[in-house]
Amino acid sequence: MVNFSGWEMPIQYEGIRVEHIAVRSRAGLFDVSHMGRIDFRGDGALEAVEYLITNNVSKMKDGKVIYSLMCNRNGGIVDDTTVYRINPSHYFFCVNAANIEKDYEWIKRNKKGNVSVINLSDETSILALQGPKAKEVLQKLVNIDLEELKIFWFKTWKIGGMDVLISRTGYTGEDGFELYIKNEYAVKIWEMILEAGKGFGIKPIGLGARDTLRTEMKYTLYGSDIDDNVSPLEANLERYVDFVKKDFVGKESLVKEKETGVKCSLVGFEMLEHSIPRHGFQIYKNGELIGTVTSGMRSWILNKDIGIGFVSREYNEIGSEFEIKIREDFYKAKVVETPFYKRK
């Protein structure tokens, strides 16, 4: 157990490798109640949300989820978030635990229109059930066919008489669900899911495997891969920026950056020599410092050492090679297509 943004969180239950493989092959259950929930309610909810994020919410229907970014006026990423539309006058953001208060204050400063912004983070627990057997496990607890719930959509159902918002989303690259529930239901539903998953080899999963699973997908982690000084274009997240919509915070800066081009970009690479890259390790080419590792791991599924990092734009093409400085030695690495892991 460790302190994580004020929460006492499990790094591992049985072991990171065991838990990682369980999610890739069967099912795993995460307690991610440290994540934040910020609600927008009122006639101006759509206008407010549209201005705060880079993606386009105007085409969302009730029950839809999208991934997006919030940017400052310089184009740096304030946070990344999933956006839920409950109805035209009610949306909510799921935000990173370390950023809850920062995001809440930034939203209040920048919001437009007639909207009430409510921080429900302390009232909401979130569980994530992930893995190829996740649907079969959860199906035992709900009385509706889960095939009706498509990826990046949500519905509210009951589990054991308790209301649960069930979203077909996740942070692992596997099929799965995220469950938003009242705090008083959290332990009971956690226990019900583990009981329902016994025949499928389910395991409780800690933060360690959550990090390795997302790294295999090249999903960015706020504070490691992205922050207030990194733009969506540099992080290769431009697909979540809608330059066509009228306005959003940071648009002017991002338009200029798009015209001039980025100086560096976030790439995925694999080591050509066995050695694990770690956050903060430096990247070199012919003796010249060209970048920094932001995340890295040994992938037990791929049997490779892999990493994510920023490099100068002339070295961001697939197949580009460079060296990672690990202690006093240099180890060869190559830019590869991502995600590293592709679900069958």
Residue 268 has, within 13 A of its CA and on its CB side, a CA count of 18
Same domain, 115 and 23: yes
Whether 341 is in a domain gets the answer no
User: H-type helices in the chain, by residue range?
Assistant: 16-25, 45-52, 100-110, 134-139, 186-196, 207-216, 251-260
Choose the final residue of a domain: 183, 213, 243.
213
Contacts of 173 (CB under 8 A, 6+ apart): 213, 214, 216, 217, 219, 339, 341, 343
Q: Do residues 50 and 245 lie in contact, with contact meaning Cβ atoms separated by under 8 Å?
A: yes
Same domain, 138 and 268: no
Same domain, 103 and 174: yes
Same domain, 79 and 155: yes
Enter the tokens of residue 233.
Answer: 């274009």
Whether 342 is in a domain gets the answer no
pLDDT in tens, the chain (344 residues): 999 888 999 999 999 999 999 999 999 999 999 999 999 999 999 999 999 999 999 999 999 999 999 999 999 999 999 999 999 999 999 999 999 999 999 999 999 989 999 999 999 999 999 999 999 999 999 999 999 999 999 999 999 999 999 999 999 999 999 999 999 999 999 999 999 999 999 999 999 999 999 999 999 999 999 999 999 999 999 999 999 999 999 999 999 999 999 999 999 999 999 999 999 999 999 999 999 999 999 999 999 999 999 999 999 999 999 999 999 999 999 999 999 999 97
CA distance 34 to 98: 9
- pLDDT score of 15: 98
Cα of first residue to Cα of last residue in the chain, in angstroms, is 33
Q: What's the chain's Rg over C-alpha atoms? A: 20
- pLDDT score of 5: 83
Whether 283 is in a domain gets the answer yes
What's the whole-model pTM score?
0.96
**Which domain covers residue 133, as residue numbers?**
2-213
Judged by phi (left if over 0) then psi (alpha if -120 to 50, else beta), residue 173 lies in left
Q: Do residues 227 and 77 lie in contact, with contact meaning Cβ atoms separated by under 8 Å?
A: yes
Q: Where are the beta strands (DSSP E) in 18-171?
A: 28-31, 36-41, 65-71, 77-87, 90-95, 116-119, 124-130, 154-159, 162-167
What's the CATH code of the domain at 183?
3.30.1360.120
Same domain, 160 and 206: yes
Same domain, 292 and 274: yes
Choose the final residue of a domain: 213, 234, 262.
213
What's the CATH code of the domain at 267?
2.40.30.110
Among 154, 150, 47, 34, residue whose Cα is nearest residue 95:
34
- pLDDT score of 61: 98
Same domain, 267 and 293: yes
Whether 188 is in a domain gets the answer yes
Choose the final residue of a domain: 151, 178, 213.
213
Question: Tell me, what amino acid is at 126?
Answer: I
Distances (CA, A) of 342 to 24, 212, 301, 334, 339: 11, 14, 11, 18, 6
Q: Do residues 189 and 162 lie in contact, with contact meaning Cβ atoms separated by under 8 Å?
A: yes
- pLDDT score of 344: 78
Among 201, 135, 209, 206, residue whose Cα is nearest residue 172:
209
Whether 343 is in a domain gets the answer no
Whether 340 is in a domain gets the answer no
Same domain, 174 and 245: no
Whether 344 is in a domain gets the answer no
Same domain, 222 and 185: no
Number of domains in the chain: 2
- pLDDT score of 4: 87
Phi, psi of 57 (to 5 degrees): -100, -5
Same domain, 35 and 181: yes
Among 184, 192, 199, residue whose Cα is nearest residue 141:
192
Same domain, 81 and 28: yes
Question: Tell me, what amino acid is at 177?
Answer: F
Among 109, 20, 7, residue whose Cα is nearest residue 298:
20
Phi, psi of 242 (to 5 degrees): -100, 100
CA distance 226 to 218: 12
CA distance 149 to 166: 9
Which tens digit of pLDDT belongs to each residue from 25-81? 999 999 999 999 999 999 999 999 999 999 999 999 999 999 999 999 999 999 999
Phi, psi of 285 (to 5 degrees): -140, 120
Same domain, 148 and 224: no
CA distance 189 to 34: 17
- pLDDT score of 250: 98
Whether 294 is in a domain gets the answer yes
- pLDDT score of 102: 98
